């Protein structure tokens, strides 16, 4: 089976990403106070029944706690999403939330490279 997503999956994921971004912009503060929640990526299963949503948290004291809280509100978030997309889909997908730690990874790599560049060079 090919790992690439179909155009249909990509379009669907794109619609979900936009609508979820709107939901988090409007209602995100109640789930993650003082935190900017960004929907970084959405992946849909081939049957569009499950959407995997990757979130990044800016200013979150504890991203693990933030994602746990959002997961506990998945039903409510799915309901709000359903209200937005009900005319475009037959079934509102199950939502699975994950932390997108790409930014943390990049920051760690930057720190490592800084550290390496500051170390004295050894003669060959």
Query: Per DSSP, what are the bridge partners of residue 44?
Result: 51
Residue 118: its H or E element: helix 102-118
As a CATH number, domain 7-118 is 3.30.300.20
State the virtual CA torsion across 54, 101, 76, 28 in degrees, nearest 10. Answer: -110
What are the residue boundaries of the structural domains of the chain, listed by start? 7-118
Give the Cα separation of 21 and 49 in Å (integer). 19
Q: pLDDT tens track of the chain, all 124 residues?
A: 445 779 999 999 999 999 999 999 999 889 888 888 999 999 999 999 999 999 998 888 888 999 999 999 999 999 999 999 988 888 899 999 999 977 777 777 888 888 888 877 776 6
């Amino acid at each position: 089976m090919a790992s690439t997503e179909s155009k249909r999956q990509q379009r669907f994921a794109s619609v979900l990403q936009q609508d979820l971004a709107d939901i988090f912009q409007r209602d995100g503060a109640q789930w993650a106070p003082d935190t900017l929640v960004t929907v970084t990526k959405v992946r849909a299963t081939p049957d569009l029944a499950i959407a995997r949503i990757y979130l990044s948290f800016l200013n979150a004291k504890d991203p693990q706690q933030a994602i746990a809280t959002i997961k506990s509100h998945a039903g409510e978030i799915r309901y709000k999403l359903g209200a937005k997309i009900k005319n475009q889909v037959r079934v509102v997908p199950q939502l699975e939330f994950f932390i997108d730690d790409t930014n943390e990874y990049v920051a760690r790599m930057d720190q490592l490279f800084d550290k390496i560049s500051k170390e004295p060079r050894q003669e060959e």
